[in-house]
Chain A
Amino acid sequence: MGLFSIIFILAGLFFLIVAAIGVIRLPDVFSRSHAVSLTDSLGAFLMLIGIALHEGLSENALKILAVLALLYIQNPVIEHATIRAALRAGLKPWKRETP
């Protein structure tokens, strides 16, 4: 049980680090939202599953799964609302300048 939870937590940490690099490096709002919503959700999933495995089969593990379901509902909703507001406010998506 301990080895599985360590593997899950390390995989989640990897995806969270990738998301943080994406937030710093990507060029505009519309591409940064991919890093914040998609990669971040996967990292949170793996890390919380790892903690739930560490807790074992108990009430706490079920509560952690409830928080995970809440995260999976709220993260795409927030990103969708923000990106829709950005699009309606008149921001243009980033394009590479073709020579």
Chain B
Amino acid sequence: MKIFLLCVLVALAFLIGAYLYRVLQGPTIFDRVLGLSGISTKAIILLIVIGAYFERVDIFVDISTGYALLNLMGALAVAKYLEQKGLP
């Protein structure tokens, strides 16, 4: 089971690379915001899988909850700011 979880961790890390391509490449700024939101979803899953790998889910799940709340506030703030300001 530990080997399997390690393989899942490596696959998730490669998926973050795909989203990072969209953040760096994206034609408009909304693509970058969307890519960052996808990266943070992957980071939440990654933290919980790391917790299952080290058999300490009880501490890693709290970190991932805090990360999810931070991501919600940050992405909403950027979206509301861009909505008022218009396309740069």
Q: Which residues of A contact B (CB under 8 A)?
A: 2, 6, 9, 13, 16-17, 19-21, 23-24, 29, 32-33, 36, 40, 44, 47-48, 51, 54-55, 59-60, 63-64, 66-67, 70-71, 74-75, 77-79, 81-86, 88-91
Contact = CB atoms under 8 A, between A and B. Distances in A.
Contact of A71 (B12, B68, B82): B68
A2 B38 contact: no
Q: How large is the interface on B (under 10, 10 to 19, 20 to 34, 35 or more residues)?
A: 35 or more
Nearest to A61: B57
Nearest to A6: B4
Chain B: interface secondary structure? helix
Contacts, number: 129
A70 B18 contact: no
Interface string B9-24: 0011001001101100
Nearest to B25: A24
Q: Which 9 A-B pairs have the closest CB atoms?
A: A81-B79, A85-B83, A20-B18, A89-B87, A74-B72, A86-B30, A60-B57, A78-B75, A63-B61
A90 B86 contact: yes
Interface of B: 1, 4, 8, 11-12, 15, 18-19, 21-22, 28, 30-31, 33-35, 37-38, 41-42, 44-45, 48-49, 52, 57-58, 61-62, 64-65, 68-69, 71-72, 75-76, 79-80, 82-83, 86-87
Contacts of B58: 59-60, 63
B76 to A, nearest CB: 6
Nearest to A36: B38
A9 B41 CA distance: 16
A9 to B, nearest CB: 6
